[in-house]
Structure 1
Amino acid sequence: MNQGSTGGIGPGSYRAPENAASERIESSVGGKVVRHLVIPAALYILIGAIDRTNVGFAALEMNKALGLSGTQYGFGAGVLFVGYMIAKYPSVLLYEAIGLRRWLTLITAAWGLCSCLMAAVANEWQLYALRVLIGFSEGGLSSGLMLYLSLWAPERFRATILAIPIASISIAQVVGAPISGLLLDLDRPLGLESWRFMFLVEALPALALAAFAWLHFPDTPADARWLTATERDWIAANVKGARKPAPGQGAERWAVLRSPEGWLCAAIWFCILASNYGIMFWLPQVVKSLSGLSSAMTGVIVALPWAASGIGLVLNARHSDRTGERYLHVAIPAVVGGAGLLLAYIFGAGLPGLVALVIGGACTGCTVAAFWAIPTRLLSPGALAMGIVAINMTGSLAGATVPPLMGYLRETTGSFLPPALLLCGIAVVCACLTLVARRVAARAEAQ
């Protein structure tokens, strides 16, 4: 484990640049990385999030058209992550072998094509198969892009830089929810059922992004024409992810699987994504069930907590960067978020329920970026790549298990209260595990 200056938990754990010139280079690199890489990467994660989660809106019409039960829908929503888990590590190995540009072009074109085919689904088995294929083709996207950005992101800006693409997941719901709702309210566009038309329209941007990936992204900092030679040298010397592992560190790629710190990070990430995916796949049905609104208005209501989540995520990450504290920036929002979601269901469709929903969604979503600053502190350069993959695989496991479990609870009880209690309990476990990680980091720093 890395127990150097990046392993602490307080503001003093960050070493300031040695001189003003280094600080200017660091700020310049951070700004260029955001403009040229982080914002474009966020667009890919945004479109991927829409194509993964728009099934939650399609369910408002699709479940009846295909005769799906709550359990069948939940399984169809979650089975995507089986493909994710199968493809995640091979996808990152492929990225390391052929470079970001070729890799991103390939997987974006594949998931765009599979998403288009969702418009032709005729039964639950075709739904399951295509969801697995979307997960398989998109598997490794978030892991690969996070690993890619770790080659460029200065430590001082890391949580903020990683917050931008992660915030795009919330933005995807803010943008995608109203659009999906409006498309569902159309009367047989092009002779298609509205949910089929929605899948077709929302898959097209992925195909366009495949061409953009080939034209835009450099594979490494050495290939970036928009960096000066001094800035390239600075990244090579100062960015943890860009440094080659020292002799003997290659074995750490697999040693992380035996690391308690690595598994602790993975368990926290499981809880974070369990809460987020539970909201993504079931919130449209919960809102429509409680309110009786049209699909378009349901989309507007669903967008509100995600808008608050995107804002909260960035603010939480920036405050975490300023203070140097990472762990409470995960634990506190997790507990508040879980309580807010439970209260939203208890209060129902009125204003108190809407306020609780917005607060719960905001806090649940804003844990994500602050979390990703934790593994980069606890794991060494040699273990980081495999650690990120292992952590993301547990997130895929959360997506594969929690939405189907919520569907089963909803179907067997006839109420959304048991699923809400499940998400609240997961949030409490997340907070407890994060506080354990804080103690582990403090002990490592003291050694």
Structure 2
Amino acid sequence: MDTASADQRVGQLHRIATRKAMARLIPLMCAIYFMSFLDRTNVALAKLQLAADVGISAAAYGFGSGIFFLGYALLEVPSNLAAHKVGPRRWIARIAVTWGILSTAMMFVQGTSSFYVLRVLLGIAEAGLFPALMYMVTLWFAPHDRPVVVGWIYIAPALALMLGNPLGGALMQLDGFGGLHGWQWMFMLEGIPSVIVGIVLFFKMPERPRDARWLSAAERDVLETHAVIDGHGRADYSSANWIAALKRPTTVLIGLIYFLNQVAFVGLYFFTPAIIHQMHVDSSLVVGFLSASVGLGFLLGVLVLPRIHRRTDRDCVFLGILTAGLILGACAYLAVTNPAARIALLTVTAFFAGGVLPSYWAIAMKRLQGIQAAAGLAFVNTIGLIGGFVGPYLFGIAETSSGRSDAGFTVILIAGVLGLALVPVLARAMRSEAGVLASSGSAAQMKP
């Protein structure tokens, strides 16, 4: 058999194995990420009721919504190093069970202090979930498949925004039933399923290809050969092996651009129900349905944009185009006053702000592997999570000073402009790093 025929057979086997892995793993990853996103964002629907029932102001709500991300960021890198050591399956299941319990406990909020404490604890419990999922992607999938895989995973939060807002709005209609407020029912009935999903995942999700009984031996081998992997639990944990990833300019710059994205996007989805309420929509159920416009834009973005990214090797050009789209969407929103047009522009803004997310991770994963992937991806997420704190906080300040929830679109515009300014800096850093790797013979040159 000639070399070309052998390569074709291996390529075909890899495509078949990849499809099997996607079909088995992506639903589990989506389920766990769906529940995490639902449990961290359902507080947006409770904003007005928390103000009326327990006296939480707009500024306190913005701070409490964002402080979740500080608790998350605090343990992000240590948590993902633990996932690398004990295995992502066990660690992700642990995360799901603990955050599900704490999400349910949100029903016991009595005032600003308890609101802050539970939001911090919820963030600490969830720390490491997303980078652990990204780490699993590096164990299972070849680099050219990762944008699409990550795009599929991002369908989960998009659906959580689309379905979660109407679902939460419906659960809020239980106000008074059994002596509980509607927001208490929502936190309880959306927190308990997270515990169940975590338990199911523990028994159903293999850690890496060689653990999957539903793959043939050849399929296991070809997946591990094409993926960038290492032996978790047996790596050297000295600082030289993982702090190096944190010092790389490309890692830091991707994290900073991701930070600015999260300032814009997290602020947007935490304040969308309040923005729509100020369009003279009073029903919690209607607010929930209209708030799904952000989830729709997010969903369309993660379905369409990763597939376009897969066809280009100019990562930074692609990032620049999407960031410019976000800026134009924010400018258009600020320029119009018609409610229907503004709801449509919520969808457009979310299309660019959310649709770009798989590209950040695909770019970062090209440059990280093994213990460096565990630490580096967690570090990128940590920087982004700080943006998740800053965004709602700035939106809350903007609303308090202006009296308008949609004043936060100015925050989106500024964050987008700053992010666009960093894209050429990232391109230069990527060219420099690729040149060093190519000259050392350790990697092929990657185009920015």
Q: TM-score under structure 1 normalisation?
A: 0.90
Deviates more, 1:214-223 or 1:141-150: 214-223
**How far did residue 248 of structure 1 move?**
12
Deviation, structure 1 residue 303: 0.5
Which residue of 12, 33, 36 maps to 1:45?
Answer: 33
Letter in 2 for 1:313: V
Which consecutive residues of structure 1, in runs of 5 or more, have no partner in the other structure? 1-15
CA distance in 2, matches of 1:17, 1:60: 64
- Indicate the residue corresponding to 1:313 in structure 2: 302
2:274 aligned partner: 285
Question: Which of 407, 414, 421 matches 2:396?
Answer: 407
Q: Displacement, 1:301?
A: 1.2
Task: Tell me whether 1:390 sits opposite 2:348 in the alignment.
Answer: no
Aligned Cα RMSD in Å?
A: 2.3
Corresponding residue of 2:443:
none
Alignment partner for residue 102 of structure 1, among 90, 94, 119?
A: 90
* Structure 2 match to 1:266: 255
Aligned equivalents of 1:379, 1:145: Cα separation in 2: 15
Deviation at 1:343, TM superposition (A): 2.8
Match of 2:426 among 415, 419, 437: 437
C-alpha distance in 2, partners of 1:187/1:125? 23
Q: 1:122 aligns with which of 99, 104, 110?
A: 110
Count the aligned residue pairs.
432
- What is the CA-CA distance between 1:18 and the residue it aligns to? 7.4
Letter in 2 for 1:334: T
Aligned residue type for 2:123: G
* More off after superposition, 228-237 vs 115-124: 228-237
Asked if the contact 1:329–1:367 (Cα under 8 Å) also holds between the matched residues in 2, the reply is no
Query: How big is the shift at 1:405?
Result: 2.0
Residue aligning to 1:143:
131
* Stretch moving more, 91-100 or 134-143: 91-100
Contact (CA 8 Å) 1:316, 1:366: kept in 2 or not? yes
- 5+ residue gaps, structure 2, are 439-448
Separation of aligned partners in 2, 1:352 and 1:104:
40
Q: Distance between the aligned counterparts of 2:402 and 2:297, measured in 1? A: 31
- Residues 1:441 and 1:249: Cα distance change in structure 2 (over 3 Å): farther
Q: Distance in 2 between matches of 1:257 and 1:357?
A: 34
Shift in CA distance, 71/230, structure 1 to aligned 2, threshold 3 Å? same
* Worse-matched range after superposition: 435-444 or 151-160: 435-444
Matched AA of 1:73: Y
Task: Name the SS of the counterpart of 2:154 in structure 1.
Answer: helix
Q: How far 1:261 moved relative to its partner?
A: 1.5
Structure 1 counterpart of 2:157 = 169
Task: Tell me the SS of whatever aligns to 2:388.
Answer: helix
Partner Cα separation in structure 2 for residue 396 and residue 307 of structure 1: 23
Match status 1:79 vs 2:53: no
Q: Is the 8 A contact 2:81 2:374 kept in 1?
A: no
For 1:358-415, what per-residue CA distance to the aligned partner results, in whole angstroms no more than 9, with x for missing partners? 2112111101011111112234555322110110110111112221122122112323
Structure 1 residues 40-439: aligned runs within 5 Å = 40-242=28-230, 251-379=240-368, 381=370, 383-416=372-405, 418-439=407-428
Q: Determine if contact 1:180/1:299 at 8 Å carries over to the other structure.
A: yes
TM-score between the two structures when normalised by the length of structure 2: 0.90
